Each structure stands twice: as structure tokens, then as C-alpha cells.
Amino acid sequence: MVLAALATLPLGVVLGPEAPLMAVGSALALLAVRRMRGADEPRTTGVVATAGSTAAISTILGGPLVSALLVVEAAGLGGARLAALLMPCLIASATGALVFTGFGTWTGLKTGGLALPAVPPAANPDVGDFLWGLPIAALIACVLTLGRHMGRSTARWTGRGNAMTRTVLCALAVGVCLSAYALLTGRSPRDAALSGQETLAELAAHPTGWSVAVLLALVVCKGLAWAVSLGGLRGGPIFPALLLGAAGSLACAGLPGLGTAPALACGICAAATAVMGLPLCGAVLTALLLGADAYDQMPLIVGASVVAHLTTLLMNRRGTATP
């Protein structure tokens, strides 16, 4: 296959390198696990071959994210059920987007874009970024998973007895957390309040303007307020989690060998993956938030999403096994 590709592709045949790369990647992957136990099982063979082809094709698609999406869609996971759900959702999301972007001479609505307005200068991740970034992703996933468990406990407590009174008590507890943040740091409680989208933008634009103590106080106070809100109040969990992940990772950005941009990418991706339970969506969301700077960080982003997802699964499994 390699000889055939070298003899044809550079000499004018009107074909791209995708198919040879995927075939060679599958063959090399199967060859690598040939002597392992259970390597002949059809399911194992399919997984290993697909992983090999994905790794190979990522060399020409600019990173692992696009190749993963390509394989998932090309494989048609879910068959007709996936298509029946995906097609209406796609056309509905496209139609809804026209409300904001405009259509022809009709003007759209002004709304803030998903991408952060400013992020730290892009830098290629190195060994130190991976050595620190992946454990930090696991730590962030642990913190957010514990927060969600606390939210479930709060929800059970709120549902017993007088729900109205206990809901008010939850709101008061959130106010105490925000007040504690303001008293400890001397900053506005607005940093830890609401969804945190504005604070996330400020944090990404001026990461050096926040001390480690302030960042840790933000994680603790906002984390507790977020956990209580999950069980006692109503709202979306994602953006607060993103701020917690960003703050926690930037608090570690001073570690030797860890850059600010890689730390921010790891923190956001780990938080998104842990709170949604979807590693691919977590990586995509991180890429959209970081904009053009996400290109250089993509291997680290994907690694952080995998580590965070595995950590979340492990903690949830242990939590389920505990009476």
C-alpha cells in the first residue's frame, strides 16, 4: 500500500492521500496488537483498526478533532436513528442561527459571540504542558464531579420537607459564598456570581491580573455556590463550570514548564467535558471559545478531554457503588 501510494499520488493521479493513510494506519495498528490476547475478536479488531486509521488521517486534517468527527459521521453510528434525529436538529439549528446572523436584507440580533474576545498569546504545547496539563485536567474533573454530587445531595435535601423554605435557604447559602469571596479577596462579588461568562472573558484577557490566592478563592467560593445552586435553584451548569476550570488551571499556570495558554485550554476543556460528560463536545466547545489560538493547543485539548472524561467516569462509578 505504501509503495503504491508513493508510486501514484506524487505523480499526478487525481486522488488524495486519505484512503492509503487510513488503510496503512489500520494495518499498522492491527499489526501492533496482533499477539495480544483477544486481538482476534471482531469487536476488538474493528476498534483497533478504526483507531489506527483515525491516527493516520489526523496527519493531514490538521489535528485529531476533525479526524474524530469524520470517523464518527462516516461510520454512521446509530444508523437510521442517528440520521432521523440529526437531520431535523441540524436544519433547526441553522434556522435558529439566522435569527442572530440575519438573512438577506433582514438584520439579525446583536449577541456576543461564543469565542472569547481575548486570550493569552498562542504557544505550541511542550513536554511540560502535557506533564502538568493532563493531571490538572484530572484534578478539575474531580472537583467538578464532586460539585455535581453535592448538587444531587442538595436536590434530595431540598425535595424533602418544605421545598420553598429550603430553596430560600439555598439562595442564602449562595449569597454567603459570594460575600465570603468579596471579603476574602476585596474584589466585587460579581466575579463569582451569575454564569461567569463575563468573568471568564476577563480572566482569559488578563490572566496575570489575578493572584493565585484570588483564583483559589474564586474556585472554592464559586464552586460551593455552584454546587448548591445545582440542587436548590434552576439554571444551566456549563458556563459556571467553565469559569471554575479556567480559574483552577490558571492558578497552576505558574508551575515550571506550564504555559498560560495551554493551562487555560486544559482547564476549559476538562471542565466542559466533566460537566457535560461528552469528551468530543467538550473539545469542540473549547476550540470555539479559544478561536484561532485553539489550533496549536488541539493535541493538548483532546488529551485533556479524554483524561477528564475517564476521571469523571471513574468517580461516578465509585459513587454509584457506594451505598
Instruction: Provide φ and ψ at 103, rounded to 5°.
Output: -145, 110
Cell of 262: 495551554
Per residue of the chain (323 residues), what is the pLDDT tens digit?
Answer: 888 888 877 877 778 887 888 888 889 888 888 877 766 777 778 878 877 887 777 777 656 666 666 666 566 555 565 556 556 666 766 766 666 666 666 776 665 556 677 777 767 778 888 889 899 999 999 999 999 999 899 888 888 878 888 888 888 888 899 999 999 998 888 888 888 888 888 888 888 888 999 999 999 999 998 988 888 887 778 888 999 999 999 998 888 888 888 888 999 999 999 988 888 888 888 888 888 778 788 888 889 999 999 999 998 886 554 44
Distances (CA, A) of 210 to 55, 136, 177, 194, 204: 39, 19, 19, 19, 10
Where are the strands (E) in the chain, listed by range? none
Specify whether the CB–CB gap between 84 and 229 falls below 8 A.
no
Q: What is the pTM of this model?
A: 0.76
Identify the bridge partners of residue 106 per DSSP, sorted by sequence position: 103
Cell of 88: 431535523
Selection from 159, 136, 107 nearest residue 259 by Cα: 136
Q: So what's the pLDDT on residue 78?
A: 58
Rounded to the nearest angstrom, the gap between the alpha carbon of residue 187 and the centroid of all alpha carbons in its chain is 28
Q: So what's the pLDDT on residue 255?
A: 87
What whole-number distance in Å separates Cα of residue 231 and Cα of residue 152? 6
Rounded to the nearest angstrom, the gap between the alpha carbon of residue 274 and the centroid of all alpha carbons in its chain is 7
